[in-house]
Structure 1
């Protein structure tokens, strides 16, 4: 498809001052071939489709850099519990009942929610990853996928072999929209010897590692009790940073931890709403950025958030940084938006493909409708996107040059069937009827 988007405001995320007020974007074969002022667009470009709207703002697709997509099935099931009880008493027993079909429909529900809200890429760590990949392929979204690995459980070696097979099967598939990582759950569930095996495999497969790190104070205390060091230092000793690392949460980090993360160019994924809900704490985002660490944003799973709304995460990240440091300048709006776009792309190793609107990059584009009461008057579109916009303000979503949401409606999936199938799976898992719904 040759697509032309014109008469719009373009925020390319190539610098805080670089806003194109009357802009145009031309797309061909899934790539951006022009972005700039509308009057300078190539006159010989012959589009199949033209999208326009003076009230629209175009920006790169949002990147949800840490989630467990199929946990949409557990949304609202076990709220208001600390992380350890939440996992051990509520979530893990349900996950033991999961079947591949459950994960497929739960992931499709997550893909639908994310696409409708302008998220075009997500990083997932879960189980039944072939079904996750099939859902990603069907939906048209972009994803970095990792099978979760728990090294202290029986069958850990088998799980690692399954991870290898999954990566070999899916890495680079769906026209490149699917990339893969290895997913050791956390330092407290994956001993050093197991992590060393994971690293060796990651080096062989030439992929990165997606892992939870320093999410709670209890985790840090437990690792220090067992190994005499912090979780980040434990990972360094196990050689984990020999490969690219996507470190989810990073709430309880020492200055030395941040030095290590910066030294090895590891990325941290800030999950503000999940961390608030589980009372895990506030990640030192300002300090991480000052140390030169790439910081992305994620929602975590919908069981601990309870949605996959990246607009809320941007707002929460900015406000938490300000109040935690007693400094209104701690995390400006542009930095928060950058964490949700280019920061996420860098964290997933995809910055050469997505994260900004530039010629040659894949066409992952979101159009937000500013003609809403809560987005007027339009003094500053970047401020509005971070502090005032909602997922429901997204009008059009394009992934890899393909329109997947138009007029606020999902056009690649049957949302009614997905919701019905997901609710059916959730009923079976919890073993009791759900609250009455419209389905």
Structure 2
């Protein structure tokens, strides 16, 4: 499938921007009926205030997703095992229980301890990019390997296994594939994670899995450890690698913004906040299911309905922020930031941790003349991925 019209509305992009139909839905009805990649009907919520309404009310908008085609052949035990540890698929109090055990791993103190190793990883990737010669693919030589190595360090994953887990991640997130193929990739990933957890239980190391087993081994089942590891591995390199690639593309297309960061690397912090808002690389959070009849933007939505929040539409809502279509890294954080409203549930904390050794300033310092290899060449976007990104980004310097 290659036609743009086959994409669900909430996944359609015009390059780095959401399509006009999405803005029209937000500024018009606010809520529209759509069909999900699973073939199920859903209500798409587009306005910022309504997205906040959905995300802040788990009692009426449950994160527990009902079974759908492609997974209906699984028995209850396998479904429960696949859901275990996936904190974004649980409501309170289970979500809080799991998140409480993970939060310390994403504090600034933890990331500062990793800063020397992260710096080594970034510099090695820059060396590799330079050796590749001009033009070089920023995705293959920098945006993908840097977060992959970092998440391998965090989880104790052998870096030699990176190609296999990257392949599984792409298949799990590719909505153009039949659901059974995506479920098969998820099973493969789970089997791999089970091996990691088994080895960590036998000999806990200093990585995140070792920490969880030493400090919370009595509170977490093996299935939960497998689920946590799988979620963090998937989110850890998918969101960050695509943020690096799309963020670089956005800055290269906005030379005034790029010049600000080059002049003052400390500007990378507000730049990341603004890029998170403006790019919205996560198309939507996992769907919610209404537990009762609800009203959103004047629309009555029956109980048991699937609700999807459009993050690109919400983050460019003029009721949320002034001049939302403009990328402006100097604007300062809005009253309610994208991460505060849940738009970066997984990637937000990880990007905050990276600010102590962000790859962006290192990239711009090494290559002060960094530019697109061919500014007139259309960018190679990953159209059918649940995480917006690039297949490649040829650059020169």
TM-score between the two structures when normalised by the length of structure 2: 0.24
Which structure has more relative contact order (CA 8 Å, sep 6+)? It is 2
Please identify which structure carries the higher helix content.
2
Please identify which structure carries the higher strand content.
1
